[in-house]
Amino acid sequence: MRIRSLAIACVPLAVLALPAAAVPASAAEAPKFETVDVNEDGLVTFAEATDADDEWTEEAFSAADQDDDDALTEEEYDAGLKARGQ
Ligand SMILES: [Ca+2]
Ligand SMILES: [Ca+2]
pLDDT of 83 reads 92
How far is ligand 1, taken at its centre, from the CA of residue 48, in Å?
7
List the CATH number of the domain containing 46: 1.10.238.10
pLDDT band for 79, please (50, 70, 90 cuts): very high
Task: Evaluate whether 76 touches 33 at the Cβ level (below 8 Å).
Answer: no
Ligand 2 centroid from CA 36, angstroms? 15
In this structure, is residue 6 part of a structural domain?
A: no
pLDDT at residue number 85: 85
pLDDT digits over 19-67, tens only? 554 444 454 689 999 999 999 999 999 999 999 999 999 999 999 999 9
Contact call for residues 53 and 31 (beta carbons, < 8 A):
yes
For 1-86, strand residue ranges (E) read 44-45, 71-72
Question: Residue 27 Cα, ligand 2 centroid: separation in angstroms?
Answer: 26
Q: Compute the distance between CA of residue 51 and CA of residue 43 in angstroms, rounded to an integer.
A: 14
**Domain hosting residue 42, numbered range:** 24-83
Establish if 38 belongs to a structural domain.
Answer: yes
Residue type, 52: A
Q: CA 10 to CA 69: how far, in whole Å?
A: 50
Whole-prediction pTM value? 0.67
Q: How many domains does the chain have?
A: 1
Q: How far does residue 44's CA lie from ligand 1's centre (Å)?
A: 4
- Give residue 10's pLDDT: 52
CA of 13 to the centre of ligand 1 (A): 35
Q: Element (H or E) spanning 63, and its range?
A: helix 58-64
User: Is the residue at 10 inside a domain?
Assistant: no
The predicted pLDDT at position 24 comes to: 47
